[in-house]
Structure formats: structure tokens, C-alpha cells
């Protein structure tokens, strides 16, 4: 890359509040550059000013959350955000980890890359979803890369790669269409090859699941298998009945019928309405989310994965309000509300839980699944075995929800060890 181009790019990153150190190879178009975050203080001052100048809507006319997050609950969280919350702690947490950026197919890919001291560590690429981020996985990095230090065994070590999806966080924003899960999966394969890995595994939940499934379907050299915590197991007949708002297909077991009822209820109550809106009009949704930090948070908290969290506590399952605000503040500071929402538009018409839409029967690599009880639905093993011809691991755990690594990091780590043990 010519010096003038590098200078211009670094100037742009400086304006946005990101910085990089010296590149490994300044002559290579495939260079991997160390990356540090430093958001300029004026941007943080502007955020606090916008929060404290919020024009609030009137109170909801119901006693539950059927019209959206309740006004009093959001005001309590936002009051803390505009007074006591400290982004610098999140920034320091991320900067304590080795971060990098590399350009693939014209888009900068930001990623955390932590290598184990163990020479036999298994490389693992983990993909977040929406409205999550790389922050979902931070608490799992230590136990995954250095299990002996956390009471585990050295032979369970992983090298960990955690990229920000294009359009999310500190990755670049695609300026053309076509960046769907299949495209992102191809980029992930290029990334792992660029990092020098000839064998590795992949993990994903939420939108990380269809990306990981696409990766497995493409079967790039070196990929050994995948783990999912939001598997696409909904059979075609069930998906059709749900879309039509009809009754459950005949012949379902009690467990399968319960899952059908749960999914049907979510649809009828509008709990997945955010998905439809962002799939249809991400730009329209993004205008409000980009201009109002409170609008951004009020929208993101509608994701059913947050439904049972207690934003004011640090209970065992709850990430707590600071970690929740770290994630939402990351979206605000990187101005990625709209670019992230476009992933839903790119995936429009291909549901993330439908086995037919995700072409799961074309995946011949080993697939491991962990079902967390408070996810948006509990995948039945019977459906999972129909969906994935090479299902090698299926386990229902007793706690945790949609953002499994975030909510239950230790349990998530244990599942990674068990799921990939046979592939080492």
C-alpha cells in the first residue's frame, strides 16, 4: 500500500478515535496491524450531553412490556449512563487484549487474537451477533487460552480469534451490497488462513450461528467442525406453519410442540418485530438510532435475548448494567447502528433458525450444539439430528440464555472443551 494511502487511512482512523501501531509488513496488501482504541474525550462529552438532553416520550399505557421497554426502567438505566458510567474502563479492558486489523476484500476486519502458550492449542474463531459484539466473549478468553490457570487442563487450550462482523464495532462498513453470512464466512476463512492456521474450529450464536453454518457448508481447507448455540433446526413444515400463523403440524412430540408454541407466541406478541423492521428498512431504522443514544438503547433492549436480564444487578447470570452499557456505547461510538442492521437486510428471506433456509443438510462437517434454557427457543435434539447429518455433540445445560458466553462464561468454556474434544 502506498505511503500516501496509509497516511490518509490513519488520519481517518484518528478522527474516528481509533489508532494503530506499526504494521507487521508495510509492503504487503495482506498486512496485519496491531490496533488500539482511544475515543477522543469530546465524543464522550457529546454522548453524555445527548443522554442528559433526552426528550422522553409519554408513559406506556399498559402495565407490562408489550409496548416496549417501560419508561421508568429505561430512565433508570439512562440516568446512570449519563452520570456514573465510565467508557474508559471498557476501553482499557479491550486494550489489555491483543487486537489487530487486516483488510480483506476491501473491508477492514478488526479482531481480538489471543494465542495460547500451549503448542497444541486448537484455534477457535468465535462470532458474535446483534446487538452483541466482541465484548460478549471477553470473559471466556482467559479460561480458553490458559485453562490451567483457571483450574482446567493444558490439553484443553485454544487459540482464540474474535472478529467484529463487517459493519459492527471497529471493523469497516461495507459500501456495497452482498455482505451476507455466506460472504462473511468466506472472509473468515481468508482471515484464518492469513493468520497461518491450517486446522481450526468455529463457534457462533445469534447471527454468529448462520455465519458459522455458512463456513461449515463452504468447508474451507482446515475447518474441522463448528459449535452452535442458536442452531437452525426448525423443520420446513414447522417454519411454514409459523410463518402462516397456523396450528402446529401433526405428529410433533410434546417437546417439539412446546417449542412450536414458544416460537408462535413470540411471533404473535411481536417479540421478533425488530427482525422484520431491520430486514425490510435498515436505513430507516438507523436514522433514529444514529441520532439518539437513548433511542439506540431503547431499540436494542427489545431483543428477546435481553428480556430476562436485570440491568441494575450483578447477579450470577446477568452481565450487569455496566457490561450492557459497554456494548451499547460501543455501537454508539463507532456509529454502527445502521451498518449493523443491514446484515438483517442482507439475510432477508433466510431465517436464522430455519433448517431449510440455512441449508443445514448440506453441512457434512461435525456439528456440536449446546442448548441454553433461556434462549429464544430450546432446540429439540430430534430436530437437531434431522437438520445436521453429522451431529457429534448435543447437550442441554441448566442455565444461561441467548448471549451464552456473556451470561455464563465458565459454562460456555466448558461446553467448548467438551464439544471440540474429539477434533483435537
Report pLDDT digits (tens) over 193-225. Answer: 999 999 999 999 999 999 999 999 999 999 999
Residue 7: inside a domain: no
Confidence tier at 312 by pLDDT (50, 70, 90): low
Confidence class for position 12, pLDDT limits 50, 70, 90:
very low
Residue 362 CB contacts under 8 Å (≥ 6 apart), including other chains: 217
What's the predicted TM-score (pTM) here?
0.92
- The confidence score (pLDDT) of residue 287 equals 94
User: Which residue range is the domain that position 402 belongs to?
Assistant: 43-95+106-424
pLDDT value at position 310?
61
Asked if residue 16 is part of any domain, the answer here is no
Whole-number average pLDDT of the chain: 91
For the chain, what percent of residues have pLDDT higher than 90?
81
| Helix (H) / strand (E) containing 369 | strand 367-371
Q: For the chain, count helices (H), then strands (E).
A: 17, 10
Is 402 one of the catalytic residues? yes
Residue 97 confidence (pLDDT) above 50: yes
Q: Which of 206, 318, 326, 327 is catalytic?
A: 206
The answer to whether residue 366 sits within a structural domain is yes
pLDDT-based confidence at 318, cuts 50/70/90?
low
Mean pLDDT of 44-56: 97
H-helix segments, 281-420: 282-291, 293-300, 321-334, 337-346, 381-387, 404-407, 409-419
**Burial (Cβ within 10 Å: 0-12, 13-18, ≥19) of residue 249:** middle
Catalogue the E-assigned strands of 142-213.
158-163, 200-204
- pLDDT tens digits, residue range 14-40? 334 444 433 334 344 789 999 999 999
Active site residue 84: no
Does residue 416 fall inside a structural domain?
Answer: yes
Distance in angstroms (rounded) separating the CA atoms of residues 165 and 5: 24
Q: Is residue 33 part of a domain?
A: no
User: Does residue 255 have a pLDDT over 70?
Assistant: yes
- pLDDT for res 15: 33
Percent of the chain at pLDDT above 70?
91
Q: Which tens digit of pLDDT belongs to each residue from 344-393?
A: 999 987 878 899 999 999 999 999 999 999 998 999 999 999 999 999 99
Q: What CATH number is given to the structural domain containing 297?
A: 3.40.50.1820
Query: What mean pLDDT is predicted for residues 44-70?
Result: 95
Other Cβ atoms closer than 10 A to 283: 12
Catalytic, 150? Answer: no
Within-domain flag for 168: yes
Q: Which of 128, 183, 303, 402 is catalytic?
A: 402
CA distance 375 to 410: 17
Is the confidence at residue 132, as pLDDT, over 60?
yes
Determine how many CB atoms are found less than 10 A away from the CB of residue 416. 24
Average the pLDDT over 35-46 and give the result: 98
Q: Is the pLDDT of residue 88 over 90?
A: yes
Which residue among the candidates 200, 331, 344, 388 is catalytic per the annotation? 344
Overall domain count for the chain = 1
Pairing of strands 99-104, 32-37: antiparallel
Q: Average of pLDDT values for 85-113?
A: 98
Q: Judge whether 26 lies within some domain.
A: no
What per-residue confidence (pLDDT) applies to 307?
Answer: 73
Look at residue 87 and tell me if it is in a domain.
Answer: yes
Amino acid at each position: 500500500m502506498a505511503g500516501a494511502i496509509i497516511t490518509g487511512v490513519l488520519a481517518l482512523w484518528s478522527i474516528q478515535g481509533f489508532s494503530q501501531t506499526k504494521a507487521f509488513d508495510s509492503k504487503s496488501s495482506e498486512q496485519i496491524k496491531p490496533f488500539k482504541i482511544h475515543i477522543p474525550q469530546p465524543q464522550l462529552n457529546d454522548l453524555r450531553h445527548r443522554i442528559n438532553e433526552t426528550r422522553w416520550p409519554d408513559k406506556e399505557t399498559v402495565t407490562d412490556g408489550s409496548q416496549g421497554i417501560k419508561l421508568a426502567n429505561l430512565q433508570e438505566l439512562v440516568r446512570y449512563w449519563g452520570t456514573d458510567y465510565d467508557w474508559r474502563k471498557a476501553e482499557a479492558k479491550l486494550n489489555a487484549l491483543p487486537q489487530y486489523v487486516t483488510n480483506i476484500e476491501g473491508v477492514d476486519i478488526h479482531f481480538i487474537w489471543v494465542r495460547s502458550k500451549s503448542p497444541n492449542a486448537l484455534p477457535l474463531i468465535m462470532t458474535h451477533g446483534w446487538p452483541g459484539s466482541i465484548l460478549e466473549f471477553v470473559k471466556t478468553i482467559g479460561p480458553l487460552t490458559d485453562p490451567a490457570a483457571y483450574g482446567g487442563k493444558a490439553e484443553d487450550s485454544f487459540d482464540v480469534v474474535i472478529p467484529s462482523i463487517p459493519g459492527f464495532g471497529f471493523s469497516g462498513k461495507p459500501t456495497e451490497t452482498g455482505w451476507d453470512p455466506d460472504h462473511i464466512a468466506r472472509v473468515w476463512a481468508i482471515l484464518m488462513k492469513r493468520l497461518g492456521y491450517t486446522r481450526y474450529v468455529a463457534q457462533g450464536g445469534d447471527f454468529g450461528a448462520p455465519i458459522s453454518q455458512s463456513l461449515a457448508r463452504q468447508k474451507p481447507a482446515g475447518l474441522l467442525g463448528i459449535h452452535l448455540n442458536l442452531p437452525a433446526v426448525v423443520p420446513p413444515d414447522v417454519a411454514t406453519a409459523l410463518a402462516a400463523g397456523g396450528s402446529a403440524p401433526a405428529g410433533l412430540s410434546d417437546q417439539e410442540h412446546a417449542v412450536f408454541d414458544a416460537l408462535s407466541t413470540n411471533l404473535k406478541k411481536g417479540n421478533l418485530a425488530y427482525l422484520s423492521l431491520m430486514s425490510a428498512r435498515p436505513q430507516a431504522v438507523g436514522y433514529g438510532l444514529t441520532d439518539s443514544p437513548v433511542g439506540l438503547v431503547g431499540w436494542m433492549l427489545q431483543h428477546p435475548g435481553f428480556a430476562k436480564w436485570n440491568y441494575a444487578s450483578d447477579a450470577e447470570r446477568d452481565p450487569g448494567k455496566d457490561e450492557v452499557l459497554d456494548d451499547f456505547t460501543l455501537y454508539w461510538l463507532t456509529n454502527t447502528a445502521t451498518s449493523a442492521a443491514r446484515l438483517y437486510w442482507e439475510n432477508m428471506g433466510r431465517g436464522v433458525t430455519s433448517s431449510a433456509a440455512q441449508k443445514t443438510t448440506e453441512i457434512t462437517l461435525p456439528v456440536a450444539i449446546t442448548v441454553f434454557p433461556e434462549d429464544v427457543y430450546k432446540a429439540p435434539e430430534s430436530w437437531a439430528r434431522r437438520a445436521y447429518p453429522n451431529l457429534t455433540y448435543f447437550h442441554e445445560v441448566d442455565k444461561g440464555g441467548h448471549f451464552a458466553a456473556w451470561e455464563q462464561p465458565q459454562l460456555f468454556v466448558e461446553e467448548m472443551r467438551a464439544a471440540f474434544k474429539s477434533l483435537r
